[in-house]
Amino acid sequence: MLSALDRRDRPPEEGAAAGLQGFAVDKTFLSSLKGILLETELCYQRFDRLNWPCLDFLRCVSAIIIFLVVSFAAVTSRDGAAIAAFVFGIILVSVFAYDAFRIYRTEITPRATQGDQQ
């Protein structure tokens, strides 16, 4: 089995198949954690049972909780950098809160009203 370094050192092969060699699927990459995450991110439409807007909303809510806890933990030292970290954390909390509100208004609320009408 040739490693990726050995494949780069070889001269390119002739013919039509040589152009498609760059598109070969690397099964070791797809079985790694990063490959699984990228495959799930790219093929999200195959998983129709997952409620993606709800997962996005939960991502925003969890980020809000994490940033609030870290911001209040940082401000306890009363240092100049800690206060700046607190302010930056509060700005991030407000951005994530706006994103969660927007997701709720555009994605989750219309689905709930459609379910009530049927």
- pTM passes above 0.75: no
Distances (CA, A) of 71 to 18, 80, 98: 54, 13, 18
User: Residue 46 carries which DSSP code?
Assistant: G
**pLDDT at residue 96 in the model:** 96
Between CA 7 and CA 25 the distance in angstroms is 14
The pLDDT, as a whole number, for residue 34 is 84
Report the C-alpha gap between 89 and 28 in whole angstroms.
38
Instruction: Specify the residue for token string 């994605």.
Output: 107
Q: With bands split at pLDDT 50, 70 and 90, how would you rate the model's confidence at 15? A: low
pLDDT of residue 19: 54
The per-residue pLDDT for range 98-118, each reduced to its tens digit, is: 999 999 998 877 766 766 665
